[in-house]
Structure 1
Amino acid sequence: MLFAWGVLGACKSEQHNKRGTTLQVKLDTIITGLNSDFVWSQAFATAFGKNQNQYLVTMSKQYTEGSDNYGNLFFSSTLDGESWSMPTAVQTLANHHKSKRFDSIFSDVYPMWHGRSKKVLCTGKIFYYNREQMPDPEVGRGAGYVTYDPNSLKWSKLETLEFPMNTSNGDTIYRPSAGCSQRFDLENGEILLPIMFEKGWDDGNERNASFVARCNFDGQKISVIEVGNSIVMNSGRGIYEPSITKYKDTYYLTLRTDHSAYVAVSKDGINYDDPVEWKFTDGRVLGSYNTQQHWVSNSHGLFLVYTRRGAGNDHVFRHRAPLFMAQVDPELLRVMPETETIIIPERGARLGNFSTYGIDGSKAIIATAERIETNVTKDSTEFPKVKKLGYNNTLFLSTVSFE
């Protein structure tokens, strides 16, 4: 049984870009409302089922105490795109490796329909916590996955991905994670799964690096077949949170760094050229930094979804709102500024952790949860400012139709 859960009236808009594509944007609310000790975060959505007309969104509780301090994974679904079920905890994860002090949580979960197995395959990050180590309890990480079977309505237990010792160019794979990474499914049912890991450097520091793994998925277990070369950057926290797509005969990988966003290309989906900084076609740096970007690819073109500086959004944490979609010139590897469209508006809060999922080449769904810094509580002096702009810890679903 489905319940309407804080559903607001849908907002529709229509925009045209200079390439002749018409984008119709429909904005819906999945959940809205503030809670005392947590915010909803990491809201990622997929379509599922034979006709791709049913939607599922996963979301995590993030506690207001501490940094990246997550609770259990929840999910909500809809059969009609309008009335969403009440958020329900994934029970197979509720008691996973928990004790009073140490536990593990599955979060940064990216759900995507796997057509060959007819299951929703959810990949993400396993956070290992020492709950007494506040305000930052994280002490390790791993790459994990669960599945959801829409026929039996059952979730699988959490599984941990196993990788070879090294990437194809010899870097040791240490503390891998699939958190917030958009994968690509091949026609034979295999998956290309982007992974971030920690790489050691001669100066004694460890920074994030990335690679893509080609995997088999039989409906229950992911088995790694091969891994590609590591993509590295020896500055800041490295280069990470990779997401992949394919357009025509080329694979594209978009990646996060502290100071900017980058893109790399591949012909086989495994081995990638050196990454280049995302820019507009007029030469300006895109301005997305310290957050993720994701893809939509269809017969209308290659599209990037992102946040950036320079949108009257200096008041937003790391400029993580609004969410933009724009077409990419695949030859130049640059974003066309004349095609830029706001697909989820800014209301004083960040939208930077989000998902995209393309449906049958004609539309895409984008999901995100708006949230503010954990120290900006109802009692803080900063809260009235963001509340005035509309912030209400809303989980948005934007449906973009291409014509």
Structure 2
Amino acid sequence: MISRRHILKAGTIAMLLPRALSAGESPSQSLIQSISRDTLWDNLDGKGVTWFQTRCCMIPDSNGKRTALMTMQEIAGSDYYGGVHEVYSDDRGKSWTEPDPVAAFGQYPMPEHEGLRRAVCDVVPEYHPETNSVLAIGLVVFYRGERFSKADQLARYPMYAVRDSNGQWSQARKLEWDDPRGSNIYANNCGQRVTLPNGDVLLAFTFGDKPIHRSVASVRCTFDGNSLKIKEVGPALELKHKRGLLEPSLTWYGGRFYMTIRAEDDHGYVAASEDGLNWSDKQQWTWDDGSPIGMSTTQQHWLTHSEGLFLVYNRRDDANRNVIRWRSPLFVAEVDPKRMVLKRETERVVVPMQGDGVNKPNEVPLMGNFHIVNATESESWLTVGSWRPRMNESGAVTLARIQWAQPNTLVRQSLDKPYVQ
């Protein structure tokens, strides 16, 4: 491991005090004891590097100690990123190694397309217990000059690389799917996955044969620590509106699988499955009183505890109504898993909005790209790279620590249950 360390500065932690239970509130609603926040890298002055796509996984050793691995990329424009870097922390996120490039996920020329470069974005690393490796899956992307190449973006597909138990990364490889339905794009970008008891990896694709009206389906893959291969693809869910259904994330809770999905009709969507492949009809995310939740083309992710299921998301609010896609603040609320709705009274802020989202929205750092990991039995982490596209691409990396009132036993790996990170 790299020995140079990036130490958190004093005074970067803000705390939300635990709230008292209200009348009629269930015990699971008090699972979140407190939330604190650390600033890991600060480039709000725009003079350095703005790190983005910050996603963690936890790597246990033989003694049970867990080391955090985080992948991240510099953002330098809309959908334009530098190469993937890795950082590590072996002291529960108090200090981090200096960013080091992952060669597998760098930028490389496309000889058959002069001036075009292939790169990888939206990388999600997850620990794979059966092979003691880290499987990192991203999405191929093509750049021309210093920008995302809209005019000649080629077909897009997942790229993955494997970090072995010695810390060495493999070359990047394409996850093959020979299906015409994904001829324009098929992707698991930014998505949370579930590792099944036999080591198979359950993930979800967004896919389409043209740029609009993409569908989603879950995909069961085999993984032997080296090769990731598709074994089975489930029936698709569809939405015939703009780009369709995007960036699905999976979790497993209470004996069922759940999928949350980004869309572009001012809603997010949710579905459930008994086997992880065949899904219920999708339904819009709503509050438990049936009222809609305004979500503008932004991702949601699961925060899963052994005793309760939560969703983290952006939504419309009076205070952020002029912020791009309402991408600040980040909220969390408990899910009613039977009805697949959010319990309104449980909502709280995970990472607050900085600035004035009504009168000065361009000064508000956007936080629509984030990830969640169960760090220990007592603590889960949300990592997010914020970004101000109209203020010199400035931003900061925040680690939000969700402290649990009860142990999260999902951290303990089980041989007979899916592994949720």
Same fold (TM over 0.5): yes
Following superposition of structure 1 onto structure 2, how do residues 376-387 of structure 1 map, counting pairs within 5 Å?
376-377=391-392
Q: Is 2:13 the partner of 1:10?
A: yes
2:162 paired residue among 141, 144, 147: 147
Checking the alignment, whether the CA contact within 8 Å between 1:14 and 1:22 is kept in structure 2 is no
User: Over aligned residues, Cα RMSD in angstroms?
Assistant: 2.3
Checking the alignment, whether the CA contact within 8 Å between 1:199 and 1:209 is kept in structure 2 is no
Q: Is 2:148 the partner of 1:112?
A: no
For the structure 1 residues 230 and 134, does the alpha-carbon distance in structure 2 shift closer, same or farther, using more than 3 Å as the test?
closer
Letter in 2 for 1:351: M
- 2:202 is matched with 192
- 1:357 is matched with 373
Cα distance in 1 for residues equivalent to 2:50 and 2:152: 18
% identical equivalent positions:
28
Give the unaligned 5+ runs of structure 2.
Answer: 355-363, 406-421
Following superposition of structure 1 onto structure 2, how do residues 19-58 of structure 1 map, counting pairs within 5 Å?
19-20=26-27, 21-23=30-32, 24-33=34-43, 34-35=45-46, 39-50=50-61, 51=64, 53-58=66-71
| Aligned pairs, number | 378
Checking the alignment, whether the CA contact within 8 Å between 2:193 and 2:201 is kept in structure 1 is yes
Following superposition of structure 1 onto structure 2, how do residues 2-401 of structure 1 map, counting pairs within 5 Å?
2-5=4-7, 7-8=9-10, 9-16=12-19, 18-20=25-27, 21-23=30-32, 24-33=34-43, 34-35=45-46, 39-50=50-61, 51=64, 53-64=66-77, 67-80=78-91, 81-94=93-106, 96-97=108-109, 101-131=115-145, 136=150, 139-140=153-154, 141-149=156-164, 151-165=165-179, 171=181, 174-200=184-210, 206-258=212-264, 259-310=266-317, 312-347=319-354, 348-359=364-375, 362-373=378-389, 375-377=390-392, 393-401=395-403
Letter in 1 for 2:192: Q
TM-score by length of 1: 0.87
For the structure 1 residues 41 and 133, does the alpha-carbon distance in structure 2 shift closer, same or farther, using more than 3 Å as the test?
closer
Checking the alignment, whether the CA contact within 8 Å between 2:159 and 2:173 is kept in structure 1 is yes
For the structure 1 residues 402 and 213, does the alpha-carbon distance in structure 2 shift closer, same or farther, using more than 3 Å as the test?
same
For the structure 1 residues 117 and 262, does the alpha-carbon distance in structure 2 shift closer, same or farther, using more than 3 Å as the test?
same
Deviation at 1:148, TM superposition (A): 2.2
Cα distance in 2 for residues equivalent to 1:98 and 1:11: 46
TM-score by length of 2: 0.83
For the structure 1 residues 395 and 37, does the alpha-carbon distance in structure 2 shift closer, same or farther, using more than 3 Å as the test?
closer
Checking the alignment, whether the CA contact within 8 Å between 2:83 and 2:107 is kept in structure 1 is no
Checking the alignment, whether the CA contact within 8 Å between 1:104 and 1:126 is kept in structure 2 is yes
For the structure 1 residues 165 and 28, does the alpha-carbon distance in structure 2 shift closer, same or farther, using more than 3 Å as the test?
same
Checking the alignment, whether the CA contact within 8 Å between 1:15 and 1:22 is kept in structure 2 is no
Checking the alignment, whether the CA contact within 8 Å between 1:46 and 1:365 is kept in structure 2 is no
Cα distance in 1 for residues equivalent to 2:258 and 2:338: 11
CA offsets 1:181-208 (integer angstroms, 9 cap, x no match): 11111111111011111245xxxx7322
Question: Secondary structure, in 3 states, of the residue corresponding to 2:345?
Answer: helix
